[in-house]
Amino acid sequence: MSRMSDGMTIGALARAAGVAPQTVRWYEARGLLPPPARTEGGQRRYDQAALKRLSFIRHARELGLGLEDIHALLELADNPAKPCAQADDIIRRNLRTVREKIAWLTALEKEFTRMLEECPSGTVRDCRVLEILGDHGECLTPHRPPEDQATAEG
C-alpha cells in the first residue's frame, strides 16, 4: 500500500471474502492472517493479498480442513519453491477421513433402514426401532462417527 489510508477496512475485507469481521480478527489472532497495516488512527487496512489469503482460508474451512492443516498449507503457499509433497499429504489424510465418514454414514443409513424395515409399525410395545435403540448389542453400526478434525478444533 502506498499510504496508510489505502486499502480495505476490516468490514470491506470481510464482505469481499464472505465472512464476518469477527472472523477476520479471529484468524489474525491465530496467526493465519498477518497483522494488517494501520492508519494513524489505528484503523486496520487490508490489501488484495489479505483478501486472497482470507479467501483461501474460507475455502479450506468450507472443505472441512482444520486450522492446523490450513496453517501448514499457508506456510507452503508462502514458500512456492518448496515441494508440494506436504500439501499432498495433508489432502490425502483429509480424503481418508472423508472416506471413513462416508463409510460410517453408509452404515448408519443401512442401520436406520433395517430398524424401519423390522418395525411392524403397530404399537410401541412391538416397536423394533425402540428395541434396537435400547439395546446396543442389536445395533450393527459403530456408535460414533470418525473424528471430525475441523469440528474438533472449533
Q: What pLDDT, in 10s, does the model give residues 69-119?
A: 999 999 999 999 999 999 999 999 999 999 999 999 999 999 889 888 888
pLDDT-based confidence at residue 154 (cuts at 50, 70, 90): very low
The answer as to CATH 3.30.9.10 being correct for domain 10-62 is no
**What percent of the chain shows pLDDT beyond 90?**
68
Q: With contact defined as beta carbons under 8 Å apart, do 143 and 136 qualify? A: yes
* β-pair partners for 45: 37
Which H or E run contains 38? strand 37-38
Q: pTM of the full predicted structure?
A: 0.77
Residue 136: the pLDDT is: 72
Count of Cβ atoms closer than 10 Å to residue 54 Cβ: 23
Domain residue spans of the chain:
10-62, 100-153
